[in-house]
Amino acid sequence: MMEFYKLILMCPLIFVAGIIDAVVGSGSVISVPTYLVTGLSVHYAYGTHKFVSFWGMLVSAMRYI
C-alpha cells in the first residue's frame, strides 16, 4: 500500500517537471528531488532522470524533423 502513495505523490510532480522541462529546460529541479523524496537511491534518481530526459529530447527532435 505504501508504494501506491509514493506513486500518487510522484506522478503529478513528474508531470509538472516534464512541462517545465519542455518550456524552460530545467525540469530536474523538480524531478530529481521528487525521486529522492519517494525513496529512490541517488544513482537510480539520476539515472531515471537522464533516461526520461533522453526520450523527451528524442521525441521532440523527431517531431521537429
pTM equals 0.71
Render pLDDT for 6-55 as a digit per residue (tens, 0 to 9): 888 888 888 888 888 778 877 778 888 888 888 889 999 889 888 888 88
Burial 13-34, CB ≥16 within 10 A → b, else e = bbeebbebbeeeeebbebbbeb
Predicted local confidence at residue 7, as pLDDT = 84
Which pLDDT belongs to residue 1? 57
- Locate all alpha helices (DSSP H) within 1-65, ordered by sequence: 2-23, 28-37, 42-64
